[in-house]
A and B are shown apart, each in its own frame.
Chain A
Amino acid sequence: MSKPRLTREQIAARAALELPDGAYVNLGWGIPNLVAAYVPSEFTIYFHSENGILGMGPRANPGDEDFDLVDAMKVPVTLRPGAAFFSQVDAHVMTRGGHLDICILGGLQVSEKGDLANWRVPGAKGAGGIGGAMDISVGAERLIVTMEHTAKDGAPKILKACTYPLTALECVHTIITDLAVIDVTSQGLQLREVAPGFTPEEVQAATEPELHYFGNIPEMRLP
């Protein structure tokens, strides 16, 4: 398959369509971090940052940075009206306690049952780091994973069982990739949308477990 897949920005744009007006949302590293830019301007989304901010706005303009006002990735940010600061404990009362509506995380692998592996590639150099990913995955009311559908070598990242170190069991609700939107259900993986120019059969070929789909599968909605 050498047809062009969606870009990281397009994956983020599609993920943004999952956020209803007024939602409380945490965005993880990588593609999820791009999602905020695609929220419709008439929507108010309360972005949570696990270092202790609710109501985070966009990145601060150069010259206006305040290095006491950074997101969990060290990026100087701004605040929206109604923002609040709190301690690390309260930040994770919000994640683990199920108080956020939607969390979007990056993924290395997702299993058929919705297990997520997203914090370490086996054999990679260095200590790795869990950060807030396990607390967020366990507590998320709805967890969306955004990632490329396959690894650089073409190997599927949606698997019958994850082979990388796990973040949490049975936590993923929806997977949005450069090929498809897939829901994790008690009956297995349901193919909801396919990337423009791709067929369900092509998406299935890039996915290890069986995908369930019936009739005409619509193309991924992109703004």
Chain B
Amino acid sequence: MAVLWPERCKGIVSVSGYLIGSQESGKAPLPPNAELEWWYQFYFATERGRAGYDKYWYDFAKLIWQFASPKWNFDGATFDRSSASFDNPDHVAIVIHNYRWRQGLAEGEPKYDALERRLAEAPVIRVPIITLEGDANGAPHPDPSAYAKKFTGKACSDRKAGKAR
């Protein structure tokens, strides 16, 4: 929104800062411990991963909640309220496409190519921004110093915004 339609944004509040992915950035290898956090991306790149997610999507998503959430101690009922939204005939295909696209293994939806090209340039964001980063973020995320220069308008950040529950 802030890149494509800045005239429609009074400002943005962005958790974990600047996170515009692209197929080009997806080519860059990461240090091993960071790659480990992305294990499912490699899994989804394979037919075994697609079949595995199709078969075990419920357990898979619960596992991701356990690893990637900000240390939530969620109960089964809480998880079930969300996981019900995964139980639809499109879910697996959409997830697999998303992760394969990131690695350049699948094409994007052509009608969004023009938008994608602009985003892929990783342009700076000029609208005012508040960035937030939790102190218990279990998911892969960049250090705030990595994206500070991406914001050229008024900006502030809060490192402790998301405490573990």
B partners with A: no
**Could you list which residues of chain A lie within 8 angstroms of chain B, going by C-beta atoms?**
none
